[in-house]
Amino acid sequence: MTQVSSDVRELASREYQYGFETVVESDAVPRGLDEDVIRLISAKKNEPDWMLEWRLRSYRHWVTLEEPTWQNVKYDPIDYQDVIYYSAPKPKKKLASMDEVDPELRAMFDKLGISLAEQERLSGVAVDAIVDSVSVATTFKKRLADAGVIFCSFSEAVQNHPELVQKYLGSVVPYRDNIFAALNSAVFTDGSFCYVPKGVRCPMELSTYFRINAADTGQFERTLIVADEGAYVSYLEGCTAPKRDKNQLHAAVVELVALEDATIKYSTVQNWYPGDAEGRGGIYNFVTKRGKCAGARSKISWTQVETGSAITWKYPGVVLQGDDSVGEFYSVALTANRQQADTGTKMVHIGKNTRSTIVSKGISAGHGQNTYRGLVKMLRSAKGARNHTQCDSLLLSRDCGAHTFPYIEVKHPTARVEHEASTSKIGEEQLFYCRQRGIPEEEATSMIVNGFCREVFKELPMEFAVEAQKLLSVSLEGSVG
């Protein structure tokens, strides 16, 4: 499992390898944002009135908000009027099967090494590929349908399962939650929807590859996953973006709902363009992710490996409402060059005997700044609740930084919170030990760093774990010392 593999050598010599742009005809709305743009988006998507109303309510709330300043990241103010809020690749015609997917798009997937056909044949992973806000291909529909699992684009869900969408949309992340959630709620163009019915174990891991493609198109996906009583689902999210000069705003919302005895496992490997060595370009990743353990004994587990983006700002959290419910957060965040990350989690304990585990591994290299910010809140009702937090930082250079801000609020006397934190420089001794055994410095570094992250990697599905390790090694290239 700890294989850093000889691919590292080869991979390490590349620059950001996903920096290409596909030429697909785009169908975009005018730059900027007002109620007309929202009406236009909604009309293009042929949405029911309730959906448009919800968007407009969100928009009207959003215009009253100001960007917060408490986060430990720095960026130039975002000009929201300079963003194109909707752009859809024009499919040549309605797609009946994989073969009909735009060859340009398929070529792009091939370049990314995630050819859908391959995926379908070999890996048993259903991929809902999102290219610039509209799903163009969804596979494995049938097998999932046989199990009763609904897995489709958000737009399709609005058309075909309005009762489910209306019931759960905004139930975990209301549009009033924060400025980016409000913006997303107003303008989201597409995303994924998944519903696993009572007692069903989803027969395969669900996976979405997000991709930001058309220039200057902000991305506002919306993901909603509902696991009904006793259901189980594991969801993988993996990201790459083409290289470009202008910072791109990415403000997604992910909502998870686990009912009684249900389990949702959500894994992310995020590798968006981080900007160049001076920090130019790169994605702003301002995402709101939250899960609600609504039922007793339910469980939600977030695992994230964040190596990309110029700025990462997100706190996947769990609201532990059901008694005996469990929330987990496993995170590796790497910042190199001029990357900034302010990430962590929020665990809100409401039910009795709720338990949460937080394992955060922050790695800083170059001039990277890495902040862990975590909130553990135990309400008056949270009798016997438990949290264990472990928060480790590894510094790989003189100019990088690690910061830890744990916020703890405990309102019930029987609730217990444990917090452990450590910061270490990459061990000179460890490095020397490896090199004395003949292992070159670069490889030794990635080996030690991967070892440091092992507790998190073991939570990832196998293929993802291998990918995550490679990503880490590639991202570390040249940033040691």
Partner 1 sequence: MLKIEDLHARTEGKEILRGVDLEVAAGEVHAIMGPNGSGKSTLANVLAGRDEYEVTRGSVLYEGRDLLSMEPEERAVAGVFLAFQHPVEIPGVGNLYFLRTAVNSVRRARGQSELDPMSFLSFSDERMKLVEMDRSFMSRSVNEGFSGGEKKRNEILQMAMLEPKLAILDETDSGLDIDALRVVAEGVTALRSPDRAMVVITHHQRLLDYIVPDRVHVMSAGRIVRSGDASLAKELEANGYGGLGPSGDDQAVAVGAGR
- Residue 457 CB, nearest distance to partner 1 (Å)? 9
Using DSSP's 3-state secondary structure scheme, residue 143 falls into helix
**Residue in 434, 460, 465, 471 binding partner 1, rule: CB under 8 A:** 434
CA neighbor of 307 nearest in space, from 264, 257, 362, 266: 362
Which sign, positive or negative, has the C-alpha torsion 245, 247, 249, 254? positive
Determine, following the binding rule CB under 8 A, whether residue 428 of this chain makes contact with partner 1.
yes
Contacts with partner 1 by CB under 8 A: the residue count is: 27
Which DSSP string corresponds to 82-115? GSB--EEE--SS---SGGGS-HHHHHHHHHTT--
Which DSSP string corresponds to 207-272? EEEEE--STTB-B-EEEEEEE-TT-EEEEEEEEE----SS-EEE--EEEEEE-TT-EEEEEEEEE-
Q: Which part of the chain contacts partner 1 (CB under 8 A), choosing from 164-172, 323-331, 375-383, 442-450?
A: 442-450
Distances in Å between the Cα of 153 and the Cα atoms of 70, 131, 300 are: 34, 11, 22
Q: Which part of the chain contacts partner 1 (CB under 8 A), choosing from 32-40, 192-200, 281-289, 421-429?
A: 421-429
Distances in Å between the Cα of 113 and the Cα atoms of 116, 117, 332 are: 9, 11, 23
- Residue 400 CB, nearest distance to partner 1 (Å)? 21
- Residue 218 CB, nearest distance to partner 1 (Å)? 38
Determine, following the binding rule CB under 8 A, whether residue 430 of this chain makes contact with partner 1.
yes
Determine, following the binding rule CB under 8 A, whether residue 422 of this chain makes contact with partner 1.
no
Q: Per-residue b/e over 70-84, b at no fewer than 16 CB within 10 Å?
A: ebbbebeebebeebb
Q: Residue 216 has which token pair?
A: 């200057």
- Residue 341 CB, nearest distance to partner 1 (Å)? 21
Determine, following the binding rule CB under 8 A, whether residue 432 of this chain makes contact with partner 1.
yes
Residue 59 contacts residue 172 (beta carbons within 8 Å): no
Using DSSP's 3-state secondary structure scheme, residue 29 falls into coil
What residue type is 306 in one-letter code? Answer: E
Residue 258 burial (C-beta neighbours within 10 Å; 0-12, 13-18, 19+): buried
According to CB under 8 A, which residues from 309 to 338 bind partner 1? none
Q: Which part of the chain contacts partner 1 (CB under 8 A), choosing from 89-97, 137-145, 347-355, 443-451?
A: 443-451
- Residue 339 CB, nearest distance to partner 1 (Å)? 23
- Residue 307 CB, nearest distance to partner 1 (Å)? 17
**Residue in 30, 113, 440, 481 binding partner 1, rule: CB under 8 A:** 440
**Residue in 30, 124, 199, 427 binding partner 1, rule: CB under 8 A:** 427
Determine, following the binding rule CB under 8 A, whether residue 278 of this chain makes contact with partner 1.
no
Residue closer to partner 1 by CB (options 261, 477) is 477
**Residue in 48, 113, 199, 451 binding partner 1, rule: CB under 8 A:** 451
Q: Which part of the chain contacts partner 1 (CB under 8 A), choosing from 345-353, 411-419, 436-444, 473-481?
A: 436-444
Determine, following the binding rule CB under 8 A, whether residue 113 of this chain makes contact with partner 1.
no
Determine, following the binding rule CB under 8 A, whether residue 448 of this chain makes contact with partner 1.
yes
Residue closer to partner 1 by CB (options 315, 452) is 452
Distance, CA of 87 to CA of 94 (rounded, Å): 18
Residue closer to partner 1 by CB (options 3, 160) is 3
Residue closer to partner 1 by CB (options 264, 453) is 453
Distance, CA of 469 to CA of 453 (rounded, Å): 9
- Residue 9 CB, nearest distance to partner 1 (Å)? 10
In eight-state DSSP terms, residue 122 is I
In degrees to the nearest 10, what's the CA dihedral of 173, 154, 205, 454?
A: -40
Q: Which residue reads 């792009």 in tokens?
A: 108
Using DSSP's 3-state secondary structure scheme, residue 160 falls into helix
Which sign, positive or negative, has the C-alpha torsion 446, 449, 451, 453? negative
Determine, following the binding rule CB under 8 A, whether residue 3 of this chain makes contact with partner 1.
yes
Residue closer to partner 1 by CB (options 182, 391) is 391
Residue closer to partner 1 by CB (options 163, 428) is 428
**Residue in 120, 276, 455, 467 binding partner 1, rule: CB under 8 A:** 455
Convert residues 376-415 into a mask of x (bound to partner 1 by CB under 8 A) and - (unbound). Answer: ----------------------------------------
Residue closer to partner 1 by CB (options 118, 455) is 455
- Residue 312 CB, nearest distance to partner 1 (Å)? 23
Distance, CA of 212 to CA of 124 (rounded, Å): 25
- Residue 361 CB, nearest distance to partner 1 (Å)? 10
DSSP lists the bridge partners of residue 173 as none
Determine, following the binding rule CB under 8 A, whether residue 436 of this chain makes contact with partner 1.
yes
Determine, following the binding rule CB under 8 A, whether residue 301 of this chain makes contact with partner 1.
no
Q: Which part of the chain contacts partner 1 (CB under 8 A), choosing from 67-75, 89-97, 383-391, 440-448?
A: 440-448
Residue 270 contacts residue 306 (beta carbons within 8 Å): yes
Residues that bind partner 1 (CB under 8 A): 1-4, 427-430, 432-441, 443, 447-448, 450-455
